[in-house]
Amino acid sequence: MTFFKKLEKRVSAKHTYLCVGLDPVWGKIPEHLPNSQEGLLEFLLQIVNETKDHVAVFKPNFAYFEALGPSGMEVLQELIQKIPPEIPVIGDAKRGDVGHSSRMYAKAVFETFGCDAVTVTPYLGHDALEPFLDYPDRGVFVLCLTSNSGANDFQLPNLHLKVAKKVREWNISGNAGLVVGATRPENIAAIREISGRMPYLIPGIGTQGGDLRNTLFYADDGSIIPYLISTSRSILYASSKEDFAQQAGTTARKLQDQINLCRSNL
Amino acid sequence: MTFFKKLEKRVSAKHTYLCVGLDPVWGKIPEHLPNSQEGLLEFLLQIVNETKDHVAVFKPNFAYFEALGPSGMEVLQELIQKIPPEIPVIGDAKRGDVGHSSRMYAKAVFETFGCDAVTVTPYLGHDALEPFLDYPDRGVFVLCLTSNSGANDFQLPNLHLKVAKKVREWNISGNAGLVVGATRPENIAAIREISGRMPYLIPGIGTQGGDLRNTLFYADDGSIIPYLISTSRSILYASSKEDFAQQAGTTARKLQDQINLCRSNL
């Protein structure tokens, strides 16, 4: 089953557009858990377990595991294996290199680590993205307009629109999406006009303070999955005590409800 | 000692501007070596050993190790530890993400894997590069104009010049460089004019067929290290037989000589 079919099935079954990012920082893990590889995995699996009913997709961020070295990458691999198979996994890796190196990154994220989808960076152009898009059963979210202040340096005012246009052209297998931040909802309408129908992975709600209502309004394209709303820290670190997982679950449910309420009022 | 001081010392001692990329592909490793983690490490250490007298810097490519999973990352870590300490190591990782994630990538490449320098991608702007530049003793090579065909999609005609301008502004600690491909030497003069003095990491000579003479001519800025000329496959796979390391050494020496001859005739 392709990533987007699996995602559609999940969204239809659970009525959720929520993407939970898994970005574990050692220092923020509740003190009662062991300060070890096992403790880290337990922290993440408890988060997965308590949030999973409210989640369309999980998104582990490779940076946080790489910082821990080979043993961190082992945790990442085991985590992905243990996420329930009906929930798709986006490898948040922001990869992109010249063709032969991108092929290795695609192999790493899709085969070695077993992710259903990936985030990639477009700076190197078509031959950097093609090795990812060449997996028709996997999803490829290309950075378009990101939620950080640095989006002003190169992406705005025009580059992000050029990226949206090119990704639409390159999306031959229908497995591409775009990363579009929620912190500039006024820009989303123009991106949607250029990209046509494709799912957006939308970070920037929560800690970064993006505007949910306007984001959903402008990102909608009338399809089953116009977007996934991604949040990490507000769920992962909802509590630093023994109830961290339950609090994560409660926060995830609230955000799921908030998104659905916004959708029904658009 | 900072990366650039270490590099200057190396270039002065060995009269070489050669950067050897370490991009190991399982299928291309000589058959007489064991098909295992140990075999891979032995292959790379023999290449390092036979080429090191001709090399200014080694550049392991993270993609090729990641594709092998956590055990590949162990090989990468051990390889970097075993490269002679007087030879700087550039982690070819093409990383770049929003600030808090980039901080994790910087920690991974500089601390966990112990690289002296890194390659990064500028799409996400200043807050994505700052966590790397914030290590004043490490080098940060920002993708500017790459050697692949995809450079035409977004980098040309103007974006790469905007990147060169911004990196010059952001280079407060004097630890930045640019990645500039050798496949479009006619563009290098304009980049040099905008970037001012900073070292270029130049791939695209060798397998990709870049023009060495014109590249060196346009990239020169009169400083001690105007550039590093990077090649990978032509050295790593100079022979698939038992003499692979000696052949790699011979190829490295020839390229060192060729670069120095070009330099003396400019």
Residues of chain A positioned with their CB less than 8 A from the CB of B112: 66-69
User: Model confidence at B207, in pLDDT bands (50, 70, 90)?
Assistant: low
Instruction: Flag if A121 and B66 touch (Cβ within 8 Å).
Output: no
Could you report the per-residue pLDDT of B176-197, keeping only the tens digit for each? 999 999 999 999 999 999 999 9
Superfamily of domain B3-264, CATH level 4: Aldolase class I (3.20.20.70)
Please state, rounded to an integer, the average pLDDT across all residues of chain A.
96
Question: How many of the other CB atoms lie within 10 Å of CB of A145?
Answer: 24
Query: What ipTM, to 2 d.p.?
Result: 0.97
- Per-domain boundaries in chain B: 3-264
Residue B98 and residue A150: Cβ atoms within 8 Å? yes
Placement of tokens 């000696």 in the chain: B246
Q: CB–CB of B122 and A154 under 8 A?
A: yes
Closest-CA distance, A13 to chain B, in angstroms, reads 32
Task: Give per-residue pLDDT as tens, A21-49.
Answer: 999 998 899 999 998 999 999 999 999 99
- Please provide residue A21's backbone torsions phi and psi, each rounded to the nearest 5 degrees: -80, 135
Distance CA A141, CA A126 (A): 14
- pLDDT, tens digit, 9 for 90 and up, residues A72-89: 999 999 999 999 999 999
| Position B144, amino acid | C
pLDDT band at B175 (very low <50, low <70, confident <90, very high): very high
Candidates A250, A144, A251, A157; CA nearest to A207 is A251
% of residues, chain B, pLDDT over 70? 98
Give CA–CA dist A47/A231, Å, rounded: 13
**pTM score, two decimals?**
0.98
Task: Report the pLDDT value the prediction gives residue B31, as an integer from 0 to 100.
Answer: 93
Q: How high does pLDDT run on average in chain B?
A: 96
> Chain A residues with CB inside 8 Å of B159's CB?
154, 159
Pick the closest to residue B190 from B224, B148, B218 (CA basis). Answer: B218
Active site (annotated) includes residue A94: yes
Min Cα–Cα distance to chain A from B92, Å:
10
For residue B240, the 8-state DSSP code is: S
